[in-house]
Amino acid sequence: MRRRRPSVLFAGQSYYHAWYLSRELRKLGWRADVLNWDFTGAAANFYHGEDYAFTWDAERPKRSLARHLAFYLRSLPRYDIFHFSNAHGMRFGKPLHDLFARGIHPFAEVELLRRLGKKIVYSNNGCLDGVAQTSFASWGDTPVCLDCPWRGRPEICSDERNLAWGHNRNRLAHFQCNTGDNRKDYNDDPTVHEVPEFFCLDPEFWRPDLEVPDHRRLDLPAGTVKIYHAVGNFQKRTAEGRNLKSTHIYVPLVERMKADGYDVELTFVHDVPNREVRFIQVQADIVVDMLTFGWFGSNVREAMMLGRPVVCYLRQEWLERMRREIPEYIDELPVVSATPDTVEDVLKDLARDPARRRELGERGRAFALKFHSAQAGARRMDTIYRELLSA
C-alpha cells in the first residue's frame, strides 16, 4: 500500500514566509498548504499568496462560520503538522476560535489537534510574543519600549497579556521557531529554537538585478548616496515623533550629513505594498533599520537578498547566545551594527566608501541565499518536521 506523503498546513500568514516555504516543501515531497484566515485585509500588503482563504459575510455570519468549521474538520485527517505564526495567532481565525472558546474553552481547537496526534509548530514574531513588557524593557541601558507607542496600550502589549499568551503557546506547541534570541520569560523554553531559515524569501523575487518600473525610479543623481529607511504601518507604530524603526534618529542625522557636505539623500518609505517596495529597496546604496531593538526583521532580510548593505543594531548578548545554537549564522552575518551614539560615524564611513558598500552587499546576498532563501527554509523545516513526526 502506498504511503501518504507527509503534510503540513500553515494556519495563518506570516507575511510571505509560509507561502514561499510551502512551495519549496512541495518539491521535497510534502503536501504543504497555506490557509489565510485573516479576512480583515489589514495586513494584506504583506501577503504573497495562499491556497485557501476564509471570508466573512456580515449579513450571513452563521453560514460563514459553518464554512470555517467545515474546513477545520476536513483538515483533521488531511494534515500531520499544523504550523501557526504570530502572537495570539494559534487559531483558525477569530470567529472559529471564539466558537470553541464559548462551547468548550479557549484553545480547544488546537488542543483537539494535539489529542489526535497532530504536531503543533509555531513561529514567533517579536517583542510582545511570550515576553513581559517589563522583561523586554530590561534589555540594555535604555529601555527600547520607550520608542514604542504600544507601551501604554495594554490591549496590545502588557505583562499580563504577553505572559498569558506565552503560557498557552508553550503548553500547546511541540516546536517553536525563533530568530534573534530574546530568551526571557516564555521564550526561555526547551521548545524554542533559533530557526532563521523559516523567515525565508524567494531569491528570484528579490534579486539584485531587478528591472525597476518607471513609476518607482528614484529621481536622484547617480552620485548621490541613497539611504533607504522604511516603516510599515507608520502611523500606528509612531507616537510623539518616535518609533522602534528609529526614524526620529535617521531624519535629522541625514540632514546633518548633508550640512557637512555629504552627497546623501534619505529615501523614507512607508505603507508601500510589499510587492512594490523591493523596487525602491534595490536602488538604495545603504539600508538603515532599528538602532535600539537589538535585531532585525523582514526589511533587513529583503535588503540582504537584494544585495544591499545594511546598518542595524545587533544586541551583543543575543548574538552570543544565538552563536551557541547556530554559530555559522552569527559568524557570517554581514549586518553593520550601530547604536544611536555610533550611527553617524558608521553612515559617514559607508558614504565615503563605495567599495565597502559593494563588498557588504555581495556578502549580504550570499548570506541571504544560504540562510533565508525558500530553498534553505524548506531543507531546514523538512528536517524539523520529519524529526517531529518520528518522535
pTM of the model: 0.95
Which pLDDT does position 271 carry in this prediction?
82
Distance CA 12, CA 71 (A): 13
Query: Where does residue 379 rank: exposed (0-12), middle (13-18), buried (19+ CB within 10 A)?
Result: middle
Distance CA 337, CA 237 (A): 23
Which pLDDT does position 142 carry in this prediction?
78
Q: Which domains does the chain have, with CATH numbers?
A: 7-198+374-390 (3.40.50.2000), 214-371 (3.40.50.2000)
Amino acid at 335: V
- With a cut of 70, list the residues of the chain below it in pLDDT: 1-3, 234-235
Distance CA 106, CA 224 (A): 55
Which pLDDT does position 212 carry in this prediction?
96
> What are the φ/ψ torsions at residue 336 (nearest 5 degrees)?
-85, 115
Q: 269 has which bridge partners? A: 230
Buried b (16+ CB within 10 A) or exposed e, 327-365: eebbeebbbbbbeeeebbebbbebbeeeeebeebbebbb
Which pLDDT does position 1 carry in this prediction?
43
Q: How far is CA 87 from CA 128, 176, 312, in A?
A: 7, 12, 24
Residue 189 CB contacts under 8 Å (≥ 6 apart), including other chains: 170, 176
Which pLDDT does position 40 carry in this prediction?
87
